[in-house]
Structure 1
Amino acid sequence: MAKIGQIELGEFPLLLAPMEDVSDPPFRAVCKENGADLMYTEFISSEGLIRDAAKSRQKLDIFEYERPIGIQLFGGDIGNMVQSAEIAAAARPDLIDINYGCPVKAVACRGAGAALLQDIPKMVKMTAEIVKSTSLPVTVKTRLGWDESTKNILEVAERLQDIGIQALSIHGRTRVQMYKGEADWTLIGQVKENPRIQIPIFGNGDIDTPQKALEYKNRYGVDGVMIGRAAIGYPWIFREIKEYLRTGQVAPPPTMAERVQATKKHFEFSIRWKGDRLGVFEMRRHYTNYFKGVPDFKPFRMRLVEAPTEADVLAILDEVADTYASVGVAV
């Protein structure tokens, strides 16, 4: 049984990775419905929270059905990170997660995210101060290291555990790799095998099929896997992995009716949470993913991204369901 503090997550939990402009409440809702065991908010700027920036504050929105859920924070200033953790705790998440893995320039070049992999003493001090400031479990997401010559995750894991984090998620790439190439899970496995490590270790990177999830579970011994890009437009990845782990059978892919239903749920939640204009606009990025691989779908996609209102979008989605209903096969 994997546990973070007193939070029980099951035998082999599947985690939804925190992804900027993706892991918002509407997206989390469809992932939870399909089996995600632990989810995180989009990563939230500590400076934004302290400035009371509207966008940062909105990312604190969590809902009871999402539990357990963590709020993820990033920043380069220790005092600001401690203060933002206190603000985040007031939103009543189940845990606080610290982002030491984001590789994008806008974050890393400000001394936050993966930049802390170049300053382990500061990372340890920042984490220790946050752990002391809250009664919530504190977890960390990070990478193997900054570059090929500084893969320091074995040291990082021990030092962060020693100052009180209660779980560690590791992406199998360095910061320099960004999201290119293949994730290397070898060091993730070595962290898990280290007899000093007693906290749950979750692996992240390139888990995009049920078969790979089982293979990596057996090969590297991780306590669970974190899934990011493979869940975008395909929340069924969670149920498919669970079915495969349980039975060894590959679950059938979602039908068109299921694709339309999930898209509608995501879209309607987006309207309620973001408002009509923004909800319609920001949903446009998701249609390609929800209907990826569907034959002859391009005309519908073009209409969906041009549709100006909620009613227009829902009408087109109904038309999609009707058009493909007679096919009756999963795609």
Structure 2
Amino acid sequence: MIKIGNLELENKVFLSPMAGVTDLPFRLICKEQNCGMLYTEMINAKALCYDDENTKKMLKIEDAEHPVAVQIFGSDPEFMGRAAQIMNEYPNEVLDINMGCPAPKVVKNGDGSALMKNPKLAEEVLKAVVKNSDKPVTLKIRKGWDDNSINAVEIAKIAEACGISALAIHGRTREQYYSGKADWDIIGEIKKNISIPVIGNGDVFTVEDARNILDKTNCDAIMIGRGAQGNPWIFKRINHYMQTGEILPEPTLEEKINTSIKHLDLAVKEHGEYVAVREMRKHIGWYLKGLKNSARVRDEINKIESHEEVVSKLREYMEDCLTLK
């Protein structure tokens, strides 16, 4: 069990917030596979304060999803505090602060991982959010800005002192983006230095990775990002292993295709056919990755604009694969 503020969670395998990925349809798919806590895409605190319609759409949370964490980003303490007040009216259980995003359009404004370069301002932001939130506040950080400014332990200590309820750490610097290897040692170091729960993140793609990160870092929970892309079964498989010591088989071809169709159906319902069919191209590519002749099918699907045609193409591909067996 992990306790985040007043929230008790039995399931310690979480979905990482990912821009353009962790929308409502994908979250519902991950929840079906026993994900312990879902995170929304990151929400711009200023846009939220200005009552932006697109931002409000991203905050739609369904009953089936709980528990949910909403992640906000920004570097202005006043706006971040106001955003926290607004979020008190929403049904999410946890409010998360982003200090890990490496995207240029985010860091150029001093937001995301750029905040780690300014511990004083980071502290002001943390205090403003904690003061104004009725919910447990968590923080997601990276190892540091670059190899010359690794300050995750310092930021973690500041966060704990500000009243943050749990901390997620991705074991890479901002400059690394997603290249190289995640440094799990920094997760273990943070775990030794603070008493709030630590959530380990970075390079968890398999059940074995999950076991290894827990063994190596002693972290309290695991957060999975890219490892869940096209592979929502990772949550169920890790949880099953943690409970029984048994590794369940990989999903079958039929499971992959049927889940991609279900995901597409949910996306069409949520976003409309035009947007959903285009948005789902990357997801379908991830579901099909590594399957026989999948590159050809992926290329064909990337040119299709109709929901019905995509479903038909996926079913036809599944039939062909099963026949070839």
Task: Find 1:301's aligned residue among 298, 301, 310.
Answer: 298
Q: Distance in 1 between matches of 2:50 and 2:290?
A: 43
Q: What secondary structure does 1:141 align onto?
A: strand
The equivalences for 1:269-284 within 5 A come to 269-284=266-281
Bigger mean CA offset, 242-251 vs 180-189:
242-251
The equivalences for 1:184-263 within 5 A come to 184-194=183-193, 197-263=194-260
Give the count of matched residue pairs.
325
TM-score by length of 2: 0.96
Structure 2 partner of 1:125: 124
Structure 2 partner of 1:104: 103
Give 1:55 deviation, angstroms: 2.2
Give the CA RMSD over aligned residues.
Answer: 1.5
Matched, 1:4 2:4: yes
Code of the residue aligned with 1:7 in structure 2: it is: L
Structure 2 partner of 1:80: 79
Structure 2 partner of 1:316: 313
Q: Distance in 1 between matches of 2:248 and 2:52?
A: 43
Q: Per-residue CA shift, 1:262-291, capped at 9, x if unaligned?
A: 111211111111111111111112121101
Give 1:20 deviation, angstroms: 0.3
Bigger mean CA offset, 100-109 vs 42-51:
42-51
Structure 1 partner of 2:141: 142
Counterpart contact for 1:41–1:60, Cα < 8 Å: yes
Code of the residue aligned with 1:45 in structure 2: it is: N
Code of the residue aligned with 1:144 in structure 2: it is: K
Code of the residue aligned with 2:184 in structure 1: it is: W
Q: What secondary structure does 1:159 align onto?
A: helix
Stretches of structure 2 that go unaligned for 5 or more consecutive residues are none
Structure 2 partner of 1:113: 112
Q: Which runs of 4+ in 1 moved over 4 A?
A: none
Counterpart contact for 2:81–2:131, Cα < 8 Å: no
Give 1:326 deviation, angstroms: 4.0
Stretches of structure 1 that go unaligned for 5 or more consecutive residues are none
Q: Percentage identity across aligned positions?
A: 37
Give 1:187 deviation, angstroms: 1.7
Counterpart contact for 2:87–2:133, Cα < 8 Å: no
